Amino acid sequence: MADTIELTITGMTCDHCVNAVTGALKQVPGVKEAVVSLAEKSARVTGDNLDPAKLIAAVEEEGYDAAAR
């Protein structure tokens, strides 16, 4: 069964930001889907054996702040 983790993302201001965060999250091992919302300042990540710390690190590497909800 897949895990789902929700993150709060701050610092996004445009669609480019959304694409950057989405791409970064999809590169994390185990991620099957990442849906990022600019309006809600959030990301919903689905996959197997997800590590919230790795997801947060991937977002922060792109220059945005993230925290598990």
Q: What is the CATH number of the domain that holds 56?
A: 3.30.70.100
pLDDT per position as a tens digit, 33-47: 999 999 999 999 999
Tell me the pTM.
0.95
pLDDT per position as a tens digit, 14-31: 999 999 999 999 999 999
Q: Which residues, 6 or more positions from 22, have their beta carbon under 8 angstroms from its beta carbon?
A: 34, 35, 36, 43
Domain total of the chain:
1
Report residue 58 as tokens.
């991937």
Cα(39)–Cα(31) distance, integer angstroms: 22
DSSP letter string, 6-66: EEEEES--SHHHHHHHHHHHHTSTTEEEEEEETTTTEEEEEESS--HHHHHHHHHHTT-EE
Containing structural domain, residue 63: 3-68
